[in-house]
Amino acid sequence: MPVRRPLSSLFALALAACSLPAAVADSVLDRVRESGVVRIGTGNDTPPMSYIDESGRWVGFDIELGNALADRLKAKVERVAVNNKTRIALLANGQIDMTVSNRSQTRSREEQVDYASPPYLWTAKIFYAKQGRFAGIGELAGKRIGVNQGSNAFTAAAQEIARYGGEAPQVVSFQKNAEGMTALRQGKIDAFCQDSPIIAALAGDTGGSFAAVGTGFSPGLYGIGVPPNDSKWRDAVSFALQDLIKDGTYERIYLAWFGPAGRYPLALDARPRLPPDAFGAMMYVWPD
């Protein structure tokens, strides 16, 4: 295709310039070993996963997990703020080494990047609205549903509402969760749809006048994203994560955030575990 070639080579050139560090070493692992620095992409406006608290520190479940991983990999953290829209591209271009940023594994994302194993938290999409306004998801037909742009709630919310029949909702994408919640409080949207732990924290912070509509749907598993086609690095990250699960670090972080006495207690246990009747609800790690 004569038109396509010059353009694509132009981009290749531009992108090659961006991704030079990744291109020098053949695996990210070599580079991290050599420099002692790992570049972790995290969000900064998504409590309780990753946000900046009143004193200006980065906090959240993903932040602590990322720190623990870096410790394991004997590297210092270089934090790169990403959002829902940039995190895949940055990873695919090799500008960051991993994302720990409340990212569900999906097929379309898997086509672009790889995931370390195992996924570390399960979630569901869930609608929140003014307490008592809607009795069930079916009543959201034709209503204005807010989502965060870049979240797969954009597709999932409409699909879920369609299952109940009725008019399609009007999906409104905001740039930030906080803006979506403000719009919900002001009545600019009728419900907001986001991952269960996130929306619970957002709704909790606004004083409890919001409640879930119906039950969660579109279950997903948060996974740690790594650049594609670098199995050496992916294994290193997977091993580090599994070590954290085995030595109880993961457990400690989970309880501190989501356990019954944690900062944002979750009604349902969000740790991805094997069936309790068979294995006593342990988390699965690869055998040696």
Partner 1 sequence: MRYEVDWSILARPELAALLIDGVRYTMIVAAVSTGVSLVLGTALAIARVSGSGWLRWPAELWVNLARHIPGVFWVLFFYFAFPELLPATWGSALNGWTSFALAAGIVALSVDNATYVSDIVRTGALAIPRGEWEAARCCGLSPWQQWTCCLIPVTLRTVTPPLANRTIHNFKNSSLCMVIAVPELTWATQQIESLTFRGIEATLVATLFYVTVALALGVWARRLERGGYRHWRGAGAVWRRERGELARVDSRR
Q: Which residues bind partner 1 (CB under 8 A)?
A: 4, 7-8, 11-12, 15-16, 19, 22-23, 84-85, 88-89, 92-94, 108-109, 112, 144, 146, 149-151, 154-155, 170, 172-175, 179, 182-183, 186-188, 227
C-beta of 67 vs 112, nearer to partner 1: 112
166: which residues sit within 8 A by CB, 6+ positions away?
138, 141, 142
Residue among 246, 11, 222 nearest 99 (CA): 222
Q: At its nearest, how many Å lie between partner 1 and the CB of residue 230?
A: 10
Strand order in the sheet with 58-59: 45-46, 50-52, 58-59
C-beta of 92 vs 285, nearer to partner 1: 92
Residue among 179, 134, 141, 133 nearest 157 (CA): 141
C-beta of 41 vs 65, nearer to partner 1: 41
C-beta of 67 vs 175, nearer to partner 1: 175
C-beta of 58 vs 233, nearer to partner 1: 233
Q: At its nearest, how many Å lie between partner 1 and the CB of residue 93?
A: 6
Q: At its nearest, how many Å lie between partner 1 and the CB of residue 266?
A: 26
Q: At its nearest, how many Å lie between partner 1 and the CB of residue 185?
A: 10
C-beta of 26 vs 269, nearer to partner 1: 26
Reported as half-sphere exposure (CB side, CA atoms, 13 A), residue 55 has a value of 2
Q: At its nearest, how many Å lie between partner 1 and the CB of residue 90?
A: 11
Q: At its nearest, how many Å lie between partner 1 and the CB of residue 191?
A: 14
Local structure of 146: helix, strand or coil? strand
267: which residues sit within 8 A by CB, 6+ positions away?
none
- What is 53-97 written as a DSSP string? -TTS-EESHHHHHHHHHHHHTT-EEEEEE--TTHHHHHHHTTSSS
Alpha carbon distances (Å) from 81 to 23, 44, 46, 225:
22, 6, 12, 15
